[in-house]
Amino acid sequence: MSETKAGQQHMQLQVEMDEATSQGQYANLAGIAHNETEFVIDFLFMQPNQPKARLRSRIISSPIHAKRFLAALSENIRKYEERFGIIVDRSTAPQAHS
């Protein structure tokens, strides 16, 4: 998403963050809900063999920003797979039966 429209100047965004935020949070599950004006994306951590998940972060965004996020994530997954190979989602892969 670094392209600019004709007539717009490119501006370098500077991001500031505190030490705790810069460490990030690991999430292995996500839940998404929406209404007419916003998307709510919950990032969760679920330990193996446990019936509960812990909310790590909740992002509330406008529909246009959610769509831009989808495009940016899709583009980055494409680039990742070009470099490292196809990501296999084993949760949806066919299971072998014996």
In percent, the amount of the chain with pLDDT more than 90 equals: 80
Q: What is the pLDDT of residues 50-73, one digit of tens each?
A: 999 999 999 999 999 999 999 999
34 DSSP β-pair partners: 39
Read off the pTM.
Answer: 0.75
Domain-located, residue 5: no
Is 55 a member of any domain? yes
The number of angstroms, rounded, from the C-alpha of 59 to the middle of its chain's C-alpha atoms is 10
Question: What's residue 10's pLDDT?
Answer: 84
Give the pLDDT band of residue 1 (cuts 50, 70, 90): very low
Note whether residue 90 is domain-resident. no
Question: Residue 90 — very low, low, confident or very high, per pLDDT cuts 50/70/90?
Answer: confident
- Our CA angle for 61, 63, 65, nearest 5°, is 60
Q: Is residue 38 part of a domain?
A: yes
Does residue 18 sit within a domain? no
Residue 28's pLDDT is: 95
User: What domain count does the chain have?
Assistant: 1
For residue 33, what are the CA distances in angstroms to 29, 73, 82, 83? 14, 18, 31, 32
Query: E-assigned strands of 1-38?
Result: 29-34
Domain that holds residue 69: 26-84
- CA of residue 2 relative to chain centroid, distance: 18
Q: How far is CA 63 from CA 21, 33, 41, 76, 88, in A?
A: 25, 11, 12, 20, 28
